[in-house]
Amino acid sequence: MSKEKHVSETPATQLLKKSKVAYTEHPYDYVDHGGATEAAHQLGLNLHQVAKTLIMEDENAKPLVVVMHGDREVSTKNLARQTGAKRVAPCTPETAQKHSGYLVGGTSPLATRKKMPVWIEASLLPYRTIYVNGGRRGYLIGIAPSELVRLLGAKEVNVGLGKD
């Protein structure tokens, strides 16, 4: 019998199972405001392969999802230009939670409450596996970025700030 923590299903893992998409589970001890950096540190993962899920909105308060490297910030100016919006800004934690159905710190790009367009940083796509939140604080899932793109209809953007 494995000693690993069992993580109960989330809407994200239910979607993956229903869609027959392979993924790995990576529970860790959630730390407030630790984010992708803390998760990568605890799990021994490359922070550049740990992706954060950000809920943002355009000038009309229409929400969108951005999947970005854990060690990068999003250029909202470039994001607006590449998505055809006039302006894009992060949502407040309360608004993000309302749109996604997930607690901030546990936001998954998968199975969000509201159907939102998903944008993924292009430099995440070459990896065989990236690690995104599985829908609960302290829980990452490893998944092929191509599966995320296929499942979510995600479009690529180049909006990461920082150097490779």
Identify the domain containing residue 83 by its residue range: 33-136
Q: How many domains does the chain have?
A: 1
Question: Domain for residue 23, yes or no?
Answer: no
CATH classification of the domain holding 39: 3.90.960.10
Provide the pLDDT for residue 1. Answer: 34
Query: What confidence score (pLDDT) does residue 8 get?
Result: 78
Residue 14 to residue 136: CA distance in whole angstroms: 13
Exposure of 1 in the CB half-sphere (CA atoms within 13 A): 3
Do the domain assignments include residue 146? Answer: no
Within-domain flag for 66: yes
> Does residue 11 lie in a domain region?
no
Residue 26 placed within a domain: no
Q: Are 137 and 105 in contact (CB under 8 A)?
A: yes
Give CA separation, 67 vs 1, 64, 74, 119, in Å. Answer: 35, 10, 9, 6
Residue 55 placed within a domain: yes
Residues of the chain below pLDDT 50: 1-4
The whole-number pLDDT of residue 3 equals 40
In a domain, 1, yes or no: no
Asked, for residue 112, whether it belongs to a domain, the answer is yes
**What's the confidence (pLDDT) of residue 35?**
92
pTM across the whole model: 0.93
